[in-house]
Structures are given as structure tokens and as C-alpha cells.
Amino acid sequence: MTQFQLPENSKLLSSDFILGVATAAFQIEGGAEHRLPSIWDTFCDTKGKIADGSTGLTACDHFNLWREDVELISEFGVDAYRLSISWPRVIKENGELNEQGAQFYLNILNALQAKGIKAFVTLYHWDLPQHLENKGGWLNRDTAYKFAEYADKISQFFGDKVHAYATLNEPFCSAFLGYEDGTHAPGKVGKEYGKKAAHHLLLAHGLAMRVLQKNSPKSLNGIVLNFTPCYPESTSKEDLQASQYADQYFNHWYAEPVLAGKYPEIIDTMPDWQKPDILDGDLDIISTPLDFLGVNFYTRAIYRANACDIFEQISPPAPITDIGWEIFPQAFTDLLTSLNAKYALPPVYITENGAAMDDKLENNQVNDADRVAYYQAHFNALDEAIKQGVDVRGYFAWSLMDNFEWAEGYLKRFGLVYVDYKTQKRTIKQSGLAYKKLIRDRQS
Ligand code: FCB
């Protein structure tokens, strides 16, 4: 049987290192008739936006199958489960709590608690209520305050059931993909939007941090950021500068305000029409100290200098995963050690890491040796970063099960568990079995 191997002294194997699995509401739940529409419903209904023309109306039907799914999670022996709350399921259009919707999550939290599984809850994994988008969405500063109100209501309702809260998942994706290049909902395109939306998202994060610290002082409260480390195509000064610019534009644009209370220096070189609208005190709110930083890592990106656009991303060299992302585990170590060198980091949790592979279900099995190799290489890279002094306390595989992969629809499978979308049957892949063994052997 396939197994992961780690050095005996690896921190990943210690009993206080959290090993878990992650999902997000829109990607697995379905049950859309019981909640308000989100920007992703609208985006899915817009022709040509989703590769297979699919929607999140049913997804993995987790809305109905959550009990079985909690059993499945518990079968892995995980210490923690990372899930997200659908804002349009728990808050009515008039701002009041939708108790039925909130109860859906409380039932899950109770079931996790009964099994001794810690809940890592993300409040915003991209599914903005459509009625807020109709008022400008993340381009409207007021959305940040609406988010803080939502955080207030839901954290009061959950009481002490949550081990860790992340305000936002990957604000880069919400801001850049959603409002600048338009490949994600709500699909707005324009350099005049991206950084403005980003600022309001970061403000929402800071406001919600303060609410969570008040309502849930015992939980770990933080944010999840994604990083795609930037490398130059050559050793030329121009390529190096291009990659450094891209690093500030895509990665540190989110990390630096949160961890150091300022935007990266490229802000000074940007034309005013691209800059965010920053009010006095915003950066103090945004840099409210974190209990933890969630880091999502999948791949790196390579850049060359470009006279018109400053930087240009080149196509990734092999090997790549089924979604076209280069497999380059060294970047995982480099990322963590460089973040540690640049910032005074709070404890870090790897909140997502994993790979889409072209899985085949045969004889009730998925022999995803390629995914096993991806995980193994990334465990080694993480182990190395920890040995170099980065304070990483946990790791979540993305994802528990195959699900709605945003603009790719159901075409890309990231799960440790295979989902047959016709029957909703779940089958643990070889990678899942290996992960389960890693967790269980560690505990025994
Ligand atoms: C991340 C998202 C997650 C999933 C993975 C593959 O950017 O947070 O929902 O789609 O990518």
C-alpha cells in the first residue's frame, strides 16, 4: 500500500501538529434553495464563465449529506476540519441572522465536537451575497462594515464551538480574479478595480478581527492568504525586477498591510486611478495582530520583464498538474522561510495545499500515485521550512473531496476522496488512504 514517509523527528508527526482536511461552502454544499443567491450563482448563470457550464446548485450535496461527510472526515482521524460559512445562508437581506441557516453549521460544529475534531471556520470563501454586489460589492466600502456585522452575528451564535476563525480566504482571488481580470465572480474587468476591492476586503478583515477578538477571545483569529512565489525567468536585472514587482502586486499586496501595516512600495509608482481609497486609520485596523496566519500554497510563477506591462508571466515548465500548475515544491520551503525573514509572523497554519489530477475510478479505486507524489514532496518541503525555523503548527490538505472548482466547474478534481456526481458516492483515493495512515500511525 502507498505510504508517506517522513523523518522520525519531523514536526509533522508530533501529536500537537494539526493535520486536517479543508473544504469551502459553495464548492460542496448545494442546498441553494435554502439560501440567498451569491455572486457565484450569478456568475455560473452567465454563459461562458464556467468551463463545463455547471453550477453550485447541488455540488457534492453536502447540505443533505453532511452527517455522512462528518463520518468520512472522522474516518481519516484528522485533528481538524476547515470549512467555510456561506454568508448568504446565514444572514438575511435585512441583515438579521437566518437562524435556520446558522443552525445548519451549528449542527456540523456540534457533530465535529462530539468526535473531538477541531473546527477551523472561514467566514468568507468568495460567496458574497448578490444583493451586496448589486450595491457595488467589494468596490463599495460599506461591504466591509456589512461583513463585520455578519461576523458579529455568526460568532455570537456559534459561541465557543470554533477553534479557529479565518476572516477571509485568499483576498487576492476575490480582488484580482473577481474585480481585475474577471475570471472569477463577479467578473469585473479593469485595473481601476482590483486594488480598490482589495482594500475593502482587507478593511473587512481588520474590522472582523476586532469583532472576533471580542466575541470569541478563546479562538485563534486570523486570515488565510494565498501565495504564488514569483521567480525570474533569467538572472537578468530586468527579469529580477519584473518578478519582484509581481511578488509585491500579487502576494505582498495582501501580506504586508496585514502583517506590517503598510502597502508594498510599488504603490508609490502606481497611477492614482489604480490606487485604493485609503482613509486615516484603515491600516491600523487592517494590521490588527493575528493569532495565526493561514498560508495556501499550490505552485510558483515565473516572470520576465515586459516593456508595456512591467511583468509578463511565462507558461510553466513541466511537470504540471491537471489544472496546469507547475509542481515545484522547493517554492514551498522558499516561501515560508522568506515570509519568516520578512515579517514578524504569528504561528502559521498551512490551510491549503494539494493537487488536481486526472483521476480514474476503476474497480472502486482511484490509484492517484501522482497526487501521492505531490503530497510527499510538499510534506518534505514543509518539513524543511520548519527545520529552518518557521513556526508552522498545522497542515490542511485541499481538499477532503472533489468539488466545484470555481471557473473549472467539476472538471478538476482536488479531493482525497473521489466524488461520483451522479450518485454522490464517495470513494477514498489512494492519496486519501495514505493520508489517513499517516495520521493514524502518528497517533498510535
Ligand atoms: C484555492 C481556493 C480553493 C480551491 C483551491 C484549488 O485558491 O481557496 O477554494 O479552489 O484553490
C-alpha cell read off for 85: 460559512
Mutate to test the pocket of ligand 1, among 170, 176, 374 (most ligand atoms within 8 A of CB): 170
Q: Is 288 helix (H, G, I), strand (E, B) or coil?
A: coil
Burial (0-12, 13-18, 19+ Cβ within 10 Å), 231: middle
Kindly give the number of the ligand 1 atom that is closest to the alpha carbon of 405. 10
Distance (Å, whole) CA 124 – CA 30: 17
Helices 99-114, 142-158: inter-axial angle, 10-degree rounding: 50
C-alpha cell read off for 126: 468568495
Spacing, Cα 1 to ligand 1 middle (Å): 29
- The residue annotated as part of the active site, out of 29, 133, 170, 408, is 170
Kindly give the number of the ligand 1 atom that is closest to the alpha carbon of 356. 6
C-alpha cell read off for 142: 460599506
Spacing, Cα 23 to ligand 1 middle (Å): 9
Residue 33 annotated among the catalytic residues of the structure: no
Q: Kindly report, residue by residue over 399-433, the tens digit of the pLDDT.
A: 999 999 999 999 999 999 999 999 999 999 999 99
Q: Please report the beta strands in 45-174, taking only residues with DSSP state E, as ranges in sequence order.
A: 80-84, 118-124, 164-169
- Closest Cα to atom 10 of ligand 1: 405
Residue 262 has a pLDDT of 98
Spacing, Cα 223 to ligand 1 middle (Å): 15
Kindly give the number of the ligand 1 atom that is closest to the alpha carbon of 170. 8
- How does residue 2 score in pLDDT terms, banded at 50, 70 and 90? confident
Q: Please report the beta strands in 209-347, taking only residues with DSSP state E, as ranges in sequence order.
A: 220-227, 230-232, 292-297, 301-306, 310-313
Lining residues, ligand 1, CB within 6 Å: 24, 27, 169-170, 173, 226, 296, 352, 398, 405-406, 414
Spacing, Cα 173 to ligand 1 middle (Å): 9
Distance (Å, whole) CA 319 – CA 93: 46
Question: If you average pLDDT over residues 193-220, what whole number do you get?
Answer: 99
Spacing, Cα 298 to ligand 1 middle (Å): 9
Question: If you average pLDDT over residues 152-175, what whole number do you get?
Answer: 99
- How does residue 442 score in pLDDT terms, banded at 50, 70 and 90? confident
Instruction: Name the residue with cell 508517506.
Output: 4
Q: Kindly report, residue by residue over 342-375, the tens digit of the pLDDT.
A: 999 999 999 999 999 999 999 999 999 999 999 9
Spacing, Cα 89 to ligand 1 middle (Å): 20
Kindly give the number of the ligand 1 atom that is closest to the alpha carbon of 403. 10
Spacing, Cα 57 to ligand 1 middle (Å): 18
180 neighbors 193 (Cβ within 8 angstroms): yes
Kindly give the number of the ligand 1 atom that is closest to the alpha carbon of 173. 7
More confident residue, 309 or 249: 249
- Closest Cα to atom 4 of ligand 1: 405
Whether pLDDT at 68 is above 70:
yes
Distance (Å, whole) CA 20 – CA 13: 13
Mutate to test the pocket of ligand 1, among 21, 82, 296 (most ligand atoms within 8 A of CB): 296
- How does residue 320 score in pLDDT terms, banded at 50, 70 and 90? very high
Exposure of 433 in the CB half-sphere (CA atoms within 13 A): 12
- The residue annotated as part of the active site, out of 29, 352, 384, 408, is 352
Q: Kindly report, residue by residue over 229-284, the tens digit of the pLDDT.
A: 999 999 999 999 999 999 999 999 999 999 999 999 999 999 999 999 999 999 99
Q: Is 394 helix (H, G, I), strand (E, B) or coil?
A: strand
Q: What percent of the chain has pLDDT over 70?
A: 99
Q: Kindly report, residue by residue over 135-157, the tens digit of the pLDDT.
A: 999 999 999 999 999 999 999 99
- Closest Cα to atom 9 of ligand 1: 24
Residue 352 annotated among the catalytic residues of the structure: yes
Angle at 414 between CA 247 and CA 328, to 5 degrees: 40
